[in-house]
Amino acid sequence: MSAADFPLIGAAAQRARAAARVLRTLPTDVKDAALTAMADALLARTDDVLTANAADVAAAAAEGTPEAILDRLRLDAARVAGVAEALRALVALPDPVGDVVRGSTLPNGLQLRQVRVPLGVIGIVYEARPNVTVDAAGLCLKSGNAALLRGSASAFRTNTALVAVLTEAAEKTGLPAGSIELLPADRASVGELLGARGLVDLVIPRGGASLIERVVRESRVPVIETGVGNCHVYVDAAADPAMAEAIVLNAKTHRVSVCNAAETLLVHRDVAFLPRLLTALADAGVTLHGDATAQAAHPAVVPATEEDWATEYLSMDMAVRVVDDLPTALEHIARWGSGHSEAIVSDSAAAIAGFTAGVDAAAVLVNASTRFTDGGEFGFGAEIGISTQKLHARGPLGLPELTSTTYVVTGSGHIR
Amino acid sequence: MSAADFPLIGAAAQRARAAARVLRTLPTDVKDAALTAMADALLARTDDVLTANAADVAAAAAEGTPEAILDRLRLDAARVAGVAEALRALVALPDPVGDVVRGSTLPNGLQLRQVRVPLGVIGIVYEARPNVTVDAAGLCLKSGNAALLRGSASAFRTNTALVAVLTEAAEKTGLPAGSIELLPADRASVGELLGARGLVDLVIPRGGASLIERVVRESRVPVIETGVGNCHVYVDAAADPAMAEAIVLNAKTHRVSVCNAAETLLVHRDVAFLPRLLTALADAGVTLHGDATAQAAHPAVVPATEEDWATEYLSMDMAVRVVDDLPTALEHIARWGSGHSEAIVSDSAAAIAGFTAGVDAAAVLVNASTRFTDGGEFGFGAEIGISTQKLHARGPLGLPELTSTTYVVTGSGHIR
């Protein structure tokens, strides 16, 4: 495969590959200087960005785009300052490149070191939010990778302005051209990106289930699945009532549109405070979709179908199922969960141990809200998404997760 | 997707999934007891295995299979004892499951631990060698995974006998049924395995470039590419002549059929001992395919084409190119290498640093033969292959590489 096979993205991918060969050798201070210059440039040229963004928002509004989507697309001076601040925060994070993951001197005297190296060229496919353009470019750069950014058509003017500002600042500090490339927002450019084996080292889709499904189905380039969170909170027989209520309410209602929000409540049948728990949720404005036992426990509960167990609502809805025991809860999670975040509320060490051992997910939360599954909350700094796959990286994807490793083996004429 | 969508492998995959949920919770001593019982059973029932193998070998011979392939297929008592011994060696290796990769107490008091967990169900697609059946089953079991083994049709009787012996022994020690499943050797079973998203967590192809290409193209299940090694030795201007000769000869001729054998020799144009080096290779029986400068340096060198730069010979052939400088060598490796193992012979610290920084491969060998890229040589114990991809694991795949991780987050009622 060569760049000519990819009319929409080939030239940009080729530039990114060339840039990646330089980026992988850059010392941390050069990358940090570029990040700082990029942050400064965003502040200095906020007006250019806002002008382009206003045109995008006006065009989207003219097409009848709902206000919730317009709000995700819209930038203002404060939001631009926020993404500039996020770039500065990356400067403060340690550079993973060059870290020695393991090392030893073998019995024959060979010195073995496993060293972190950048992945190379990373493609990111994402939806309306223009802040992802800046976040993804910054994370890729700090980890020594070139970024191929494929944002949505609705944000194309904004993304063009942002990338112009970022690349000009980066190149002034000595970064190679091609370090940050914005791809055309044509529908076909995603297909090219997913087929660009040998040109692109990794594609990260950031978006809904249908985008991720397409990427997994089509891609010949390695991908990391992110973001689908059908998360459960299991309230055990031995749960403290007040703690259970606080965690369930927080997991469901703190921010409903995010992947670490809870979607299904599983409650042990011996939980006597179930009616009170359901009342608290209903009072908070949550629509409850429950099985027969849940319906019997509270008049606000409407009947649930299998569809409800499968759904990532991302809204003020919650499915409720009453289970006979922990194994039934684990079966439910294994059948319907998306492997993101699963929480248990319990004072029983045995139940906690059983839940922790039995759940196969990126994160298991014990007496804590699912909302804590987050790179920032985990203390990793910025994240590019939350992986729900088992290979390479599971959970929040920070800077180390954007690297690979090389074994460097040093001898003095060693042969076998 | 459900098991019914996969007529050839669905039932086996379903059994493996059920087994995997048990395997992930088994303590190390139970897995080690099973491995020991499997080794004992292989020795006790060697005759059953050899009878089945004799039938496979006779059938393959009747079809006119070349002796080199027959030799890979053929077992004898010593080879069976060898694979039994390999199972015992796994007992001695540390169990990666449960290892805490990182852990901290966050400022808000949440306890964060990243813990190794098994991947789940691992499919392995491989060619004639029946020893892979035992090795793969053992590695998967020790790392807490269920194994779906898809060997070649020519070894089906042998593999059936081996898996019967292994599963009977494993189940007697309390391992769940489904821990080791042999899949039908029909051509279509590979396709089903590659499509069994949700049933299978990882597929590892062990075979030639065409198998690996098919797997990468078709698979909707995560894969780890292994084994294609178009490896180079770069002899720098500052190389010690005797060391260079020893390393080049070893890398090329020690065992030509393996992925860490060298295929192309790159020599700096200032290397005065090039004629002697080429004589040593020719005297060892190596057919040399070289550029014009190499041809001028030695009469045995036949002309090379681009095809030679691209070829993993796996034979007593070697391509030879004389380069003007280190950057040209790096360009050649970036263009033609498969990202497996790349070696430099040099006494120049600057050249070594430039080579190490500039090569993007699983292993970079400094003054050492490419033949050292191997799980056993690296001290990792057994390996299931050598990854040439950048994601998840790069280089020899040992037990830790057959695991994922889960973040276990423990609070006391923490909400955001």
| Chain A stretch 322-361, residues whose beta carbon is closer than 8 A to a beta carbon of chain B | 334, 356-361
| Contact list, B197 vs chain A (CB under 8 Å) | 216
Q: How far is B61 from chain A (nearest CA, A)?
A: 34
Count of A–B CB contacts within 8 Å? 206
Reported pTM: 0.93
| Contact list, A254 vs chain B (CB under 8 Å) | 415-416
Answer yes or no: do B368 and A411 touch at CB < 8 A: yes
Position B198 scores a pLDDT of 87
| Contact list, A251 vs chain B (CB under 8 Å) | 415
Which of A117, A357, A413 is facing B243, going by the closest CB pair? Answer: A413
A129 and A69 share one domain: yes
| A300 in a structural domain | yes
| B386 in a structural domain | no
What is the dihedral sign for C-alpha A51, A52, A58, A61? Answer: negative
| Residue A178 Ramachandran class (φ > 0 left, ψ -120 to 50 alpha, else beta) | left
3-class secondary structure, B89: helix
B92 and B181 share one domain: yes
Long-range contacts of B359-363 (CB under 8 A, 24+ apart): B359/A406, B359/B330, B359/B333, B360/A21, B360/A24, B360/A117, B360/A120, B360/A406, B360/B334, B361/A406, B361/B333, B361/B337, B362/A406, B362/A407, B362/B386, B362/B387, B362/B388, B362/B394, B362/B395, B363/A406, B363/A407, B363/A408, B363/A409, B363/B395
| Contact list, B25 vs chain A (CB under 8 Å) | 357-358
| Contact list, B391 vs chain A (CB under 8 Å) | 119, 202, 222, 224, 391-392, 404
A254 and A316 share one domain: yes
Answer yes or no: do B372 and A250 touch at CB < 8 A: no
Which of A114, A254, A416 is facing B371, going by the closest CB pair? Answer: A416
Which of B104, B217, B364 is facing A408, going by the closest CB pair? Answer: B364
Position B1 scores a pLDDT of 63
Position B215 scores a pLDDT of 87
- Shortest CA distance to B82 belongs to which of B42, B140, B55? B42
Answer yes or no: do A357 and B394 touch at CB < 8 A: no
| Tokens describing residue A173 | 């500090």
| A352 in a structural domain | yes
Answer yes or no: do B362 and A240 touch at CB < 8 A: no
Tell me if chain A has a CB within 8 Å of the CB of B112: yes
Distance CA A200, CA A187 (A): 18
Per-residue pLDDT of chain B (416 residues), as tens digits, is: 677 899 999 999 999 999 999 999 999 999 999 999 999 999 999 999 999 999 999 999 999 999 888 999 999 999 999 999 999 999 999 999 999 999 999 999 999 999 999 999 999 999 878 999 999 999 999 999 999 999 999 999 999 999 999 999 999 999 999 999 999 999 899 999 999 998 999 999 988 888 888 888 889 899 998 878 999 999 999 999 999 999 999 999 999 989 999 999 999 999 999 999 999 999 999 999 999 999 999 999 999 999 999 999 999 999 999 999 999 999 999 999 999 999 999 999 999 999 999 999 999 999 999 999 999 999 888 889 999 999 999 999 999 999 999 999 999 999 99
| B243 in a structural domain | yes
Tell me if chain A has a CB within 8 Å of the CB of B25: yes
| Contact list, B379 vs chain A (CB under 8 Å) | 104, 106-107, 112
CATH of the domain at A84: 3.40.605.10
A180 and A44 share one domain: yes
Residue type, A41: A
- Shortest CA distance to B397 belongs to which of B98, B136, B123, B176? B136
What is the dihedral sign for C-alpha B406, B412, B413, B416? Answer: negative
| Contact list, B413 vs chain A (CB under 8 Å) | 240, 242-243, 246-247, 367-368
Answer yes or no: do B405 and A414 touch at CB < 8 A: no
Give how far Cα A293 sits from Cα of A224, A285, A322, Å: 39, 21, 6
B36 and B126 share one domain: yes
Position B226 scores a pLDDT of 87
| A309 in a structural domain | yes
Answer yes or no: do A368 and B411 touch at CB < 8 A: yes
Burial B126-165 (b: 16+ CB within 10 A, else e): bbbbbbbbbbbbbbbbbbbbbbbbbbbbbbbbbbbbbbbb
At a CB cut-off of 8 Å and minimum separation 6, what does A304 contact?
Answer: A289, A290, A291, A294, A319, A320, A321
Which of B202, B246, B364 is facing A415, going by the closest CB pair? Answer: B246
Q: How far is B266 from chain A (nearest CA, A)?
A: 17
B219 and B268 share one domain: no
A202 and A165 share one domain: yes
B135 and B277 share one domain: no
| Chain B stretch 53-82, residues whose beta carbon is closer than 8 A to a beta carbon of chain A | none
ipTM of the shown complex: 0.93
Query: Can you list the residues of chain A whose pLDDT is less than 50?
Result: none
Q: Beta-carbon neighbour count of residue B109 at 10 Å?
A: 11
Position A213 scores a pLDDT of 84
Position A1 scores a pLDDT of 62
| Contact list, B410 vs chain A (CB under 8 Å) | 365-368
Give how far Cα A188 sits from Cα of B154, B163, B216, Å: 43, 47, 21
Q: Quick one: chain A helix, strand, coil %, rounded to 5?
A: 45, 20, 35
**Kind of pairing between the strands at A287-290 and A317-323:** parallel
**Kind of pairing between the strands at B121-126 and B202-206:** parallel
Answer yes or no: do B120 and A378 touch at CB < 8 A: no
CATH of the domain at B310: 3.40.309.10
| B381 in a structural domain | no
Distance CA A17, CA A120 (A): 7
| B248 in a structural domain | yes
B65 and B198 share one domain: yes
Position B6 scores a pLDDT of 94
Position B392 scores a pLDDT of 95
- Count of the separate structural domains present in chain B: 2
Domain that holds residue B218: 3-226+393-410
- Shortest CA distance to A266 belongs to which of A283, A282, A252? A252
At a CB cut-off of 8 Å and minimum separation 6, what does A307 contact?
Answer: none
At a CB cut-off of 8 Å and minimum separation 6, what does B50 contact?
Answer: B75, B76, B77, B80
| B415 in a structural domain | no
Q: Beta-carbon neighbour count of residue B72 at 10 Å?
A: 17
B254 and B113 share one domain: no
B84 and B214 share one domain: yes
Position A68 scores a pLDDT of 84
Answer yes or no: do A222 and B415 touch at CB < 8 A: no
Residue type, A402: L
Select from A249, A409, A410, A412 the residue whose CB has the most chain B CBs within 10 Å, as the one to mutate to test that interface: A409
| Contact list, B217 vs chain A (CB under 8 Å) | 220
Answer yes or no: do B368 and A414 touch at CB < 8 A: yes
| Contact list, A390 vs chain B (CB under 8 Å) | 119-120, 201-202, 222, 404
A20 and A121 share one domain: yes
Q: What are phi and psi of A34, to 5 degrees?
A: -65, -40
